[in-house]
Amino acid sequence: MSEHHVVPTPGREAPPPVPRRPAPGKPGSGKARGNRRLLILALIVVLVIVGTITLAVVRSEPRSGAVVPTPPAVPAAPVAAAPPSLQDNVENILSEADQYRIGLALADVSGGAERTFGDQDTFTAASTAKILTAAAYYHLVEEGQASLDAPMGDYDAAFQLKAMVNDSNNDSWLLLMDAVGYPQLIAYADSIGVTYDPEQNLLTAADMALILKKLYAGELLDKENTDQLLSYMQDTNDEDLIPAGSRPGVDVHHKYGEVSGELHDAALLTYGGSTFALVIYTENPDGVADDGQAEVIRDLTRAVEDALLPVALAGK
């Protein structure tokens, strides 16, 4: 009698299938797929890291043939080392702006080199002379004859000094000149080599350059008062003249002046460890300052910086 295997039919409980065992030494197919995924992910991470590092290195290295700026070598006394191009460029600008009376003065802080261009006579100094008044008052403080805390107007002397220089406040100027005294202000100016009468308020561009040079060199005031006065000569109420013509990276301390047809700026320019004074006085014979004077001041600033503070390029 033949033997028949019983085949489960629907409704009949079938025995569970027996799982197949992997061959010896071979992982199961699910585990293999998981390991492969981990391996691929790890490889991707490594490739991303290597690519990022490579890109950073490539970007950090200059392209072959690229021109790379290098820090310029600036002389300690740039006015003394001025190239012939300085005079040529300045005189070209002055000749093109001959409708104005213009005086320009340069002075090294380190050393005694000075240069003047254009009109060397006196101008109405306008508010540039406020630096002289400020220095005279600080000098009295250092001599024990005045105080920064002294009441002056509605405030104290320290407030009026900042208002006079940083905001060019004329009321503060009158208060400080009265506090110094006109005869004393004349005597103080004479002691530093400048002829000045506050009732006339006349200075040459070279006079103003000398005042700035001595101020920065510490020949007028002690370090604390020098630093304080210089701090008032930045971020002033008018940055449209020498600061606007100056290139990025040049540190500018300045005092502008404007009255009737006079438009001036008197500045100390510091770059690469060197400092020099640049004073530009302009006068419009029509009696009203105009935009052309401001543009000439900016053009002259650029011409002076291009000559005295060259930008070096290296590599090709």
Give the pLDDT confidence of 36-90 residue by residue, as tens digits. 666 666 666 556 565 554 444 444 444 444 444 454 567 889 999 999 999 999 9
pLDDT value of position 310: 79
CATH class, range 84-309:
alpha beta
The full set of domain ranges for the chain reads: 84-309
pLDDT value of position 9: 37
Statement: residue 206 has pLDDT above 80:
yes
> Which band of pLDDT confidence, cut at 50, 70 and 90, is reported for residue 33?
low
pLDDT value of position 112: 86
More confident residue, 14 or 79: 79
> Which band of pLDDT confidence, cut at 50, 70 and 90, is reported for residue 311?
confident
> Which band of pLDDT confidence, cut at 50, 70 and 90, is reported for residue 316?
very low
C-alpha dihedral sign at 164, 169, 170, 175: negative
Distance CA(274)–CA(278), nearest Å, equals: 13
pLDDT value of position 289: 96
Scan for tokens 């390029």, then name that residue: 313
Distance CA(120)–CA(132), nearest Å, equals: 19
CA proximity to 277, closest of 113, 119, 165, 97 = 113
CA proximity to 250, closest of 287, 278, 288 = 278
